[in-house]
Structure 1
Amino acid sequence: MTNTDYSPKPFLCLHCGNETIMQIVAKHNDQEFEYTFHPEYNEEVPWAVYDTSYTLYKCPVCSKVTLKSIESFDGIKDHKGRVIETENILYPIQTGDLKYVPERIKGAFESALKTKNVDRVMCAIGLRRTLEMLCYDQKAEGKTLYKKLVDLSDKAIIPKVLDKVSHLIRDLGNAAAHEENVEFDIHIINDLIRFTRIILDYVYVIPKELIRIQEQFDLNKKEA
């Protein structure tokens, strides 16, 4: 691998929040074969392959690394006969894909990420704003963010357990907006980011992924 190898397109660094072309610093590929019995040869022969490629990227802005994987199984194809590939970010740890999140809410969340290593107070305010926008989108009732999140919990739009963590969002958001000289530990900010991401996943990503998986399952069942 040389210093001239880069990602084919920009993507978001979850460390610093910048969207940029990344330097490729390492690559690795794994393959596993699935076998079936072939009566003509009277033995097990490979009929499909699980392919996983790993790529380690380095951000030119913060110099931290991101590990991505692309998984495919040539026994499963889309309606055009193309092998389906699934891309995952393995590090830094995250959940789901933001592609199903409404653009305005996605933009607010990504803007908050960009301030994490610059101004943690602004990051906390940005995350609170992201959740306010989500509550508005989901028609939550209540005068405060906390009450809106509890309302979403009561309606089973978000898991019941998350309304307990909503106290943290309320307190941190109020401190960031109204208290002078407030400072937030980076670990608290990281937890706040993860909490916000979990809610985004639960409301927008998981339902769409379940539909996609069911549709793909039904398609493969018809073709079998």
Structure 2
Amino acid sequence: MNETRRKKFLSCHRCDTATVHSLLCRADSDVERCDAEGYKSYEPATYSIFQCDGCTRISVYIWSAFHSPLSEFGEQDYPPGFLDIRGAPAAVSLAYQQAEHVKSRSKVAYAVLARKVLDAIVKDRCAEERNLSRALNVLATRGEIPSLLAEAANHIRLFGNAAAHEANMHITEIHVQMIDKFLAVLVDHLYTAPTALKEFKVLLDMDGDEQVDV
């Protein structure tokens, strides 16, 4: 039965290149979207499930009016893509994506690149201070990041330093998960949440303009 499956070249996140994929299943259904005002809408959609012939990673593509036609099967919905850091400069987003890209491949590389995310952040938010440790303290003193996040960022900095310079550095999956968690909170605090709040305020202003006094 496997011999009759349709074969396609598609991007594989694990293999980090385009590989031969087998189409396992296709099904017609729909997708749901909710707009900024809370209204739901539905569109017909076709779901395609593929499996990489090399690493066996499963991927899901969706074809609908809501999805970009990045391939003849639509947009890849799973595995999810890199985090879109809304409001962050390109250098911060790139550093974060590079760290995410190696997270499942090399714990040491992830620790080193997580530190580089901090470098990119302080260059954006504290360009006058070139020392990473002092720059994090400046951000905390200014109130741009709470003391808890400043402490977590400092641990990520120290861990990244050790990963880069200590040949026998032992890093576990727990270390990776903790770095990942605090790094995500940090970029959300500095970039994503403030951007979302601005958008929310715009919506509130629009709603206020539509109100009529009686």
TM-score by length of 1: 0.60
Specify which of 186, 189, 192 is matched with residue 179 of structure 2: 192
Q: Summarize the Cα distance change of 1:160–1:117 in structure 2 as closer, same or farther, 3 Å threshold.
A: same
Change (3 A) 1:221 1:143: closer
Among 117, 140, 150, which residue is 2:137 paired with? 150
Query: Matched residues in 2 for 1:31 and 1:200: separation?
Result: 26
Q: 1:168 aligns with which of 142, 155, 166?
A: 155
**Aligned residues of 2:153 and 2:182 also touching (Cα < 8 A):** no
Aligned residue for 1:99, secondary structure, equals coil
Structure 1 position 150, deviation (Å)? 2.2
For 2:140 and 2:86, locate their aligned partners in 1 and report how far apart those are by CA, in whole Å.
23
Sort the Cα spacing of 1:49 and 1:211 in 2 relative to 1 into closer, same or farther, 3 A: closer
Q: In the TM superposition, what is the alpha-carbon distance from 1:107 to its structure 2 partner?
A: 0.8
SS at match of 1:193: helix
Helix, strand or coil at the partner of 2:156: helix
Residues 163-194 of structure 1 deviation map (CA, whole Å, 9 limit, x = unaligned): 22234213211211211121311221122122
Cα distance change, pair 167–98 in 1 and its aligned pair in 2 (3 A) = closer
* C-alpha contact (below 8 Å) 1:57/1:65 kept by paired residues: yes
Answering whether residue 50 of structure 2 is matched by residue 63 of structure 1, we say no
Residue 141 of structure 1: CA displacement?
Answer: 6.1
- Cα distance in structure 2, aligned partners of 1:160 and 1:129: 20
- Aligned runs of 1:28-177 on 2, under 5 Å? 49-50=39-40, 60=52, 63=57, 97-139=84-126, 144-177=131-164
Answer whether contact 2:111 2:159 (CA < 8 A) is retained. yes
State the shift of 1:63 in Å. 2.6
Conserved? CA contact 2:118–2:153, under 8 Å: no
Tell me how far 1:64 sits from its aligned partner.
6.4
* Structure 2: tracts of 5 or more residues without a match: 61-76
State TM-score, norm by structure 2. 0.62
Root-mean-square deviation (CA), in Å? 4.4
**Other-structure match for 2:65:** none
Code of the aligned partner of 2:181: R
- Name the SS of the counterpart of 2:147 in structure 1: coil
